[in-house]
């Protein structure tokens, strides 16, 4: 009898041990969730994410904290996920196209853009444009290129980093115009705004952190890179209208580290989608005219697979490198 009881106690103890991970998972989330953003605060992305994170926080019952990690061409958050984050649902990151492109730009070990991350939800995309000060002599984008042609390497423009989507687009425009401009990379679009206000650069070619200054009349919007003109700035032509036959965007979303459990992915996607559809978030998207680029986990992963192949081919074709 004593031996039978002992065996029964051992079995119960083993069952309790086996159930511990399930219980721990059932309690998720039980502490704050960090979402790493590889850009400085400010602008449309910051406004949308902070609005959404408040909604997600109420939905999940824990704090959702935005942590800015600017620098390294917008790759620091991806580096952290790859090198340090655990797949426990407490560390996520803002994800953008440069993360898919970066491994093909360097011989240094980085990450696999598809398999080293867990894709949760694509959200929106950056709205790009070219902007000068209101007292600038440049009234059109053609004026900027004419000045660059007359003074090779002296007319400057800012972006949020080397080999970012908008930097590559500007390089293509300069190649078509056969001009050489001075590229000034910053850690984020907001720093370009500060530089233009301080007359440190001639033009911004970046995401719409410049919008408030265009609205107040401090900056002049020379072009937008969307497919159609923006209702709020109807006088600003698109690149297609200017004869370049191109539009430029850079979709972004949320990812976790490799191996994030499917149940967490499902719950996080539900919460992010709910936050995106909330009127408060929709108001931010309308205010900044942000595109709806929503994709669920499976579709977002498929997009990453297809786009990674495209980025690999583009980097090879253009012989690009940051080494």
> b/e map of 114-127 (b: 16 or more CB within 10 Å)?
bebbbbbbbbbbbb
Instruction: Write the CB contacts of 169 (distance below 8 Å, at least 6 apart in sequence).
Output: 128, 205, 225, 246, 248
Per residue in 221-278, pLDDT tens? Answer: 999 999 999 999 999 999 999 999 999 989 999 999 999 999 999 999 999 999 999 9
Residue 17: C-alpha distances to residues 20, 282, 284 (Å): 5, 45, 47
| Closest-CA residue to 311 (of 132, 107, 159, 164) | 164
| Closest-CA residue to 66 (of 44, 87, 46) | 46
Tokens coding 39? 């850009």
Per residue in 96-146, pLDDT tens? Answer: 999 999 999 999 989 999 999 999 999 999 999 999 999 999 999 999 999
Per residue in 58-80, pLDDT tens? Answer: 999 999 999 999 988 889 999 99
pTM: 0.81
CA distance 189 to 41: 10
pLDDT at 244: 96
Tokens coding 105? 């730009």
Instruction: Write the CB contacts of 172 (distance below 8 Å, at least 6 apart in sequence).
Output: 246
The most confident of 12-16, 167-171, 216-220, by mean pLDDT? 216-220
CA distance 299 to 305: 10
How many other C-beta atoms lie within 10 A of the C-beta of residue 15?
Answer: 9
Q: Which domains does the chain have, with CATH numbers?
A: 32-125+250-318 (3.40.190.150), 127-224 (3.40.190.10)
Half-sphere exposure (Cβ direction) of 244: Cα atoms closer than 13 Å: 23
Q: Are strands 203-207 and 91-96 parallel, antiparallel or unpaired?
A: unpaired
pLDDT at 91: 98
pLDDT at 42: 84
Residue 28: C-alpha distances to residues 7, 23, 89, 246 (Å): 33, 9, 8, 45
Residue 157: C-alpha distances to residues 83, 166, 213, 215, 280 (Å): 33, 11, 17, 20, 34
**CB-based burial label for 44 (10 Å; 0-12, 13-18, 19+):** buried
Long-range CB contacts for residues 133-140, cutoff 8 Å, separation at least 24: 133/196, 133/197, 133/199, 133/218, 133/219, 133/220, 134/217, 134/218, 134/219, 134/220, 136/202, 136/203, 136/220, 138/202, 138/203, 138/220, 138/222, 139/220, 140/222
pLDDT at 26: 61
pLDDT at 20: 42
Q: What is the mean pLDDT of residues 186-190?
A: 90
CA distance 1 to 258: 49
């Amino acid at each position: 009898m004593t031996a039978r009881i002992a065996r029964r106690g051992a079995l119960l103890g083993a069952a309790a041990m086996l159930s511990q991970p399930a219980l721990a998972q059932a309690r998720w989330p039980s502490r704050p969730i960090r979402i790493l953003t590889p850009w400085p605060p400010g602008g449309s992305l910051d406004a949308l994410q902070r609005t959404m994170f408040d909604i997600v926080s109420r939905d999940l019952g824990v704090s959702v904290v935005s942590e800015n990690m600017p620098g390294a061409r917008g790759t620091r958050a991806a580096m952290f996920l790859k090198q340090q984050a655990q797949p426990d649902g407490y560390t996520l990151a803002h994800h953008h196209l440069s993360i898919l492109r970066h491994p093909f730009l360097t011989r240094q070990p980085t990450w696999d853009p598809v398999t080293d991350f867990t894709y949760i939800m694509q959200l929106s995309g950056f709205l790009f444009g070219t902007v000068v000060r209101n007292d600038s002599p440049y009234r059109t984008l053609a004026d900027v290129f004419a000045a660059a042609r007359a003074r090779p390497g002296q007319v400057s423009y800012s972006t949020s980093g080397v080999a970012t989507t908008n930097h590559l687009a500007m390089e293509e425009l300069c190649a078509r115009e056969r001009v050489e401009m001075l590229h000034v990379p910053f850690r984020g679009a907001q720093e370009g705004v500060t530089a233009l206000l301080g007359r440190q650069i001639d033009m911004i070619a970046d995401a719409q952190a410049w919008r408030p200054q265009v609205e107040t009349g401090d900056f002049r919007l020379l072009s937008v890179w969307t497919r159609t003109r923006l209702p709020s700035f109807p006088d600003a032509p698109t690149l297609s209208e200017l004869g370049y036959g191109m539009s430029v965007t850079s979709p972004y979303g949320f990812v976790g580290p490799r191996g994030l459990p499917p149940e967490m992915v499902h719950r996080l996607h539900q919460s992010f989608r709910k936050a995106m559809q909330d009127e408060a978030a929709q108001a931010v998207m309308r205010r900044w005219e942000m595109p709806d680029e929503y994709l669920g986990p499976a579709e977002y992963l498929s997009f990453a697979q297809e786009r990674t192949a495209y980025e690999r081919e583009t980097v090879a074709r253009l012989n690009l490198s940051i080494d």
